[in-house]
Every structure is written in structure tokens, then in C-alpha cells.
Structure 1
């Protein structure tokens, strides 16, 4: 279950490493690989906040919505999120106290996650990128983990002339998976997510929510 939490929260901050671009790669393909290589370097150095500027505007907006919902009183804001974002917001509430959620930015949370070991360096080392396909201002690469294709590709979008990591497919895939598992369990999505989080270790010294 811990790996599932990582998939929907910190891995949402693109914890994967790129293989070196092929010699015959186009300039766009090399730039795409370089963008993700920069994210890998930052994550390897535990500088999670440095990854945020490498994300697409839509991705940052989604992560900001998660942060805002997590720190909002009550559950109304959390319930408005799609399941993957809801999972992340509820996870933040489990691992961070109210005062921490009020003062921490998305970048601060990413730094904290890496320092707390929510994502180990072995995850980065085991990941690589296969062939990249560029279509106008969008690009997608085959994400490999332990030399096997991952279920979700690595997507990118060109904004302001620079390639940014786009997390839309990660959120969409996560939401569809959670919806399916919740339906099979006979529970609503929030109750199912709460059950998943209950199986993860609670933050020491904190009461479970």
C-alpha cells in the first residue's frame, strides 16, 4: 500500500530518471529528455522543490489544489477533488499537521517528502525513458521501471518555448484505478481511500484522522 501512496503523491512529482538521449534524437526529443533529466538530478539531491518549476502549469495547478484542500477545514474541499487528488490530500493530512499544511508550499512538501524517505533513491535509479514521440507542443515517452514498461507514460508539454513535465495522465490513471477498486469493494471512493491510508504507518505522535 505504501507504493500506492507514493504513486499518487510524491511520484506525482515525477520521480523517474531518463536514459541518455539516442544519438539520432531530434532537438525536441533531446530537450524533452533534458527536462526530465533536470528533474531526476533535483530529486537525487533531495531538492524536491526544484522540480516544481519543471512541471506544466496545469500540473502545478492540480498540486496546488491538493495542498489547498488538505489544509482547508472540514472535508468539503477534499470531496470536490478527483479520486487521485483526493488520495493525495487525505494522505497529506495523515502525515502533516495543520500548522505544517498552513505554512508549507507545494515545493516545501516535496522537499519534506524526500527528506522523510517517502521516495527512496533506488526508485529513481530503477527508472528510465524509452523512445520519445513529439507531436507539436506535446510529447510522450515510454517510461520503464526495472526495464519493464510502466502503465502510465511520461508526458510533456511545451510552454513558453520550454518542455515541461505534464502529470495529467498520472492523475487520470490514478483516479480511474481508485474508482474501479472502490466500486469492487462496495464502498464510496472516500471511504475506500481512507481504508487504504489506514493501512499505512501513521506519523509518529499524531492522532489518526
Structure 2
């Protein structure tokens, strides 16, 4: 009888764990889908509710770099960081830059299209793996699995996406485009800014705000 009861409790424990895991997986997917919907509809205030503290910290860092970095510092940055800084300097007033915090900068970047819809359009989350308060969901684009993952962290009892987890992939893609075009990096980024805004960037974007 003791063996039977022991096996019963073990089975119930496994079932309970599996149910809990499935529930968490569902919540991870819902978090990503909510972020995706917000981005595609330019709803910055909504989107920031689904990103984690690591993402906000990144934008705080980008904001400080935007304010203070000289051309030498800018040219030492990774390609995505550099593009973000010069985009903010070129497309945002000094008054706004000085008034923003990291969260407000992210909201602004989403509304102005600096956080591109292409990053989530035609994408979804595939298999989800959960380890306590960390989860990762496989990136699927146009129905095809990619060998990288969105990371999620549970904060304030809600799953939130860490946008910085896919930055390395984006950086590699940018570098490949530049190599394929045979362009020098800064020249390519300036051309990209001109294409996005219809205006030729000025030298001031390489200079500190303060």
C-alpha cells in the first residue's frame, strides 16, 4: 500500500509540474505576442510593459552615450549601438534627449520607427524552455526555425522579453549587408539614415549633445 501511495503521489507531482510548465510556456508566448502587436501598431507605451529591466538598462546606457560620446567613442561602439546613437541625435531634439530616461527613449524610438517592425514582423516563438525565472523561445521567421532565441525573464510575476538577447544576431546581419555592399561602415549607416528620413545627415551627429 505504501508503495502504491508513493507512486501515486509521484505521478501527481509529475502531472502538476507538467501542467505548471505548460501554463508558463503559454504566458511566455503571450508576452511575446503582446510585445509584437504593440510594435506593429506603433504603441510604444504598451510595448514597454512587455520588455525586461535589462532592455530598459540598455536604453539608459544608449541615452547617456547619445548625450556624451564623441566621434572616437562612437566609432568604438558595435554597429547597432552606433546606429541607434546617431539615429537619436539626428531625429530627436536636444530638448527631448535631455528630458528622456531610458524607458521614455524606448517609447520614443518605437513611435519613430527606430525599433523596427521588421524585427517582429512574420516572426513567432517556437519551442520554449523554462528554467525558474528564465525562459528562451526559439525564433521562427516566415515559418522557418532559426538557430537563436529570444530570452525572457520573470519580473514582478510577469514574463518579459529581453530585446538585447537578439542584438548580436541583428549586428551580424548588418555587418553581412555592409560587406555584401562593399561599403565602409559609417558611410553605409549615413546612407541608411538618409534613406529612412529623406534628409542628408549632418556632421553634428558625431558630436556630444552636452
TM-score normalised per structure 1: 0.65
Question: 5 Å matches for 1:23-102?
Answer: 26-72=22-68, 74-75=70-71, 78=74, 81-102=77-98
Match status 1:137 vs 2:133: yes
Higher mean alpha-carbon deviation, 149-158 vs 127-136, is at 149-158
Give the unaligned 5+ runs of structure 2: 1-18, 204-210
Aligned counterpart, 2:195: 200
Deviation at 1:64, TM superposition (A): 1.3
C-alpha RMSD of matched pairs (Å): 3.7
Mean CA deviation greater in 60-69 or 136-145: 136-145
Contact between 1:66 and 1:86, CA under 8 Å: does it hold in 2?
Answer: no
Provide the rounded CA distance (Å) in 2 between the counterparts of 1:171 and 1:123: 10
CA distance in 2, matches of 1:121, 1:168: 16
Whether contact under 8 Å (1:56, 1:165) holds in the other structure is: yes
TM-score by length of 2: 0.65
Q: How many pairs were matched up?
A: 184
Q: Is the 8 A contact 2:48 2:107 kept in 1?
A: no
Cα deviations by residue, 1:19-53 (Å, 9 ceiling, x for unpaired): xxxx9971210121122232234334422133223
Specify the SS of the correspondent of 1:157: strand
**Alignment deviations for residues 111-148 of structure 1 (CA, whole Å, 9 cap, x no partner):** 44444455676875522221211123221112222212
Q: Which has the larger radius of gyration?
A: 2
Equivalents in 1 of 2:68, 2:121: separation in Å?
A: 36
Higher helix share: 2
Tell me if structure 2 keeps the 8 A contact 1:157–1:166: yes
8 Å contact 1:152–1:169 — kept in the other structure? no
